[in-house]
Chain A
């Protein structure tokens, strides 16, 4: 999806410059806003394909910029945070952010997040078979194959894998996973079930469950199923 238009909302001019230069070099068009209000106005006027939003802005909270955007648009939003504020991160992710990246970040990581976020908008959901490296998930027959061999999964393990795979490359918070696998009425206090089933799932689909390469834990936030990039 080369040519997508990305809006950068960050008060640090050096970060904006860094992002602009790198994103343009990768073929994206960019616009810059240096505070929350400017960001909201530009988001509405320019209708960007993706927004990179810093959570700590001088004039308003990044999370409220996010919720105002979400009130009228489904544009993918990748948030920028500093270390040590897991609660803000989780709050933003649970309130509509697509992904996050922690400062200081490497450009490779940022580009991967941007690509995944853009892909999820473009993706047609009707694809019946998902292929993730040597893992194949048949959504119609609910069959999972690893290197050609069928993997026996319990219903919950299968649902968990399906939810993660449909959002491959994107972080899923504990709450999002609980809601989508166990249903709306699940409680966050049940998050230890989630950890148990992730453990079971890893034993069945990872080469080395102690050093997982498919289902990655994001401490304090949730899980991410890493899709090998094509």
Chain B
């Protein structure tokens, strides 16, 4: 087929059908145009000079050349000469030419027509090429733009497959195979199957993957699938298979170039995602390493210190029964009690952390009274509170709140313990509860050492200990657990410096409205 290279194959170019019907349409159009012109000229033959008529016959030639290219134009020129000769050159209505000078005119006319047609044809091809290049560029641009936004491999592969499939005038089937953990190629993305007849050949796939070169292969006589390696400079990341069924023909060199360019963009995007994942993984590993070290440091220190006082006191008691006064003995016993309480708190916190992190935390949400929960927390720390003043401010019409009371108790107790730990004897701890349509806010203010402006966020990180509080024992777990529990309830917890001094811890919990009828007989 002569004009097959002019076929539009990029989806955005002129919407025309397959080649042969296009050809027919061009020649039919040429015939019609010349015929129409002839009829008009016949009617007006007394007004125009014969020279004018000859020139007017160039019009259909130009039109056809611009629209369909050189060959239909030359056909139009030939047809024009014949019509002009038959209808207008004397003797009229015969092919006989009386004046032989007309033969020269015909030759000139044909030459001019051919030249015009070929110029117009070239112009048309150039426009067409420009359009095609622009379409290729925009296709590549579109793909790379899409790829840049994608963060996970699965979506990326899907988008590549879809895009490649849509690039051609007729959608073609596309599959992308990537190696799995054992370096075995697996189909990771595919467009909906258009022709169920094609099959990916595993051997060809493997060969292309390991050699990094493209190949075409079909089970039968013809090439069914084109296997294109997705490679960057140093590595083959996978293989893209493209079916040629959609076009009914093999890809021409230009189409191949497009496919290769798209494969290149895809390969770079896949490589990018791989690198991102690797970077994330190594960051995670470094982070877990840091946490492990912190955990070991914290546990060994926090367990050993009270253990040392317990073992010391107990051995002192056992060995010194006769020399120690009753008062001394009592003193040692109190030390033992405090040491073991501290170990108990640490273990409770560690278990709490493990439960939160392993996702074993199950919320047992019941409608609860915040005032009651604050009362329970205050009771938990009542011995330590003996040397603090406590101001509790709770509105009378406080609505019930759906929370897990055991866990919220743990949060309140942790916050209260902190407030006591970091504030001086005789100072006041304020607890304020407020509520709005959608949230309940509990804030706890102490008059203690306060926090540094930049550590408000870090306070809630696991094992974080404020540099200003290193002299006070602690694991850096309490607030992390509080945050975990509050987040599990869909709430927020934050810390800020109090004014004029101290720390304010604020919990916000979502308030679901529970309709309660005050019914009493």
Interface residues, chain A, CB within 8 Å of chain B?
Answer: 83-84, 86, 104, 154-156, 191-193, 195-196, 198-199, 209-212, 216-217, 219-220
Contact = CB atoms under 8 A, between A and B. Distances in A.
B378 A192 contact: no
B105 interface: no
A217 B375 contact: yes
A198 B372 contact: yes
Nearest to A208: B392
Nearest to B517: A193
Given A155-B521, A196-B369, A210-B394, A84 B351 contact: yes
A212 B364 CA distance: 24
Contacts of A210: 371, 374-375, 378, 392, 394
B47 to A, nearest CB: 101
A199 B340 contact: no
B379 interface: yes
B364 A220 contact: yes
B376 A217 contact: yes
Contact of A220 (B344, B390, B405): B405
A196 B348 contact: no
A192 B370 CA distance: 12
Residue among B348, B372, B373 with max Cβ neighbours from chain A (10 Å): B372
A84 B373 CA distance: 17
A211 B379 contact: yes
A217 B516 contact: no
B410 to A, nearest CB: 9
Closest 8 CB pairs of A and B: A192-B367, A220-B406, A210-B392, A219-B406, A219-B409, A195-B369, A217-B376, A219-B405
Given A155-B520, A216-B379, A211 B392 contact: yes
B35 interface: no
Contacts of A196: 369, 400, 516
B51 interface: no
B366 interface: yes
Given A192-B367, A199-B369, A220-B364, A104 B406 contact: no
A192 B340 contact: no
B516 A193 contact: yes
A209 B396 CA distance: 11
Q: Is the interface on chain B under 10, 10 to 19, 20 to 34, or 35 or more residues?
A: 20 to 34
B368 interface: yes
Residue among A196, A209, A211, A216 with max Cβ neighbours from chain B (10 Å): A211
A31 B182 CA distance: 63
Given A195-B367, A212-B375, 20 more contacts: A84-B351, A86-B406, A154-B520, A155-B520, A192-B367, A192-B516, A195-B372, A196-B400, A198-B369, A199-B369, A210-B371, A211-B390, A211-B392, A212-B379, A216-B379, A219-B376, A219-B405, A219-B406, A219-B409, A220-B406
B318 interface: no
B323 interface: no
Interface in B345-377: 348, 351, 364, 366-369, 371-376
B386 interface: no
Contacts of B521: 155-156
13 contacts: A104-B344, A156-B520, A195-B368, A195-B400, A196-B369, A196-B400, A198-B369, A198-B372, A210-B374, A211-B375, A211-B390, A217-B373, A219-B376
A83 B351 CA distance: 10
B366 A191 contact: yes
B400 A192 contact: yes
A104 B400 contact: no
Nearest to B402: A192
Contact of A192 (B344, B375, B379, B514): B514
A219 B520 CA distance: 26
B322 to A, nearest CB: 21
A192 B392 CA distance: 23
A14 B138 CA distance: 79
Interface in B378-434: 378-379, 390, 392, 394, 400, 405-406, 409
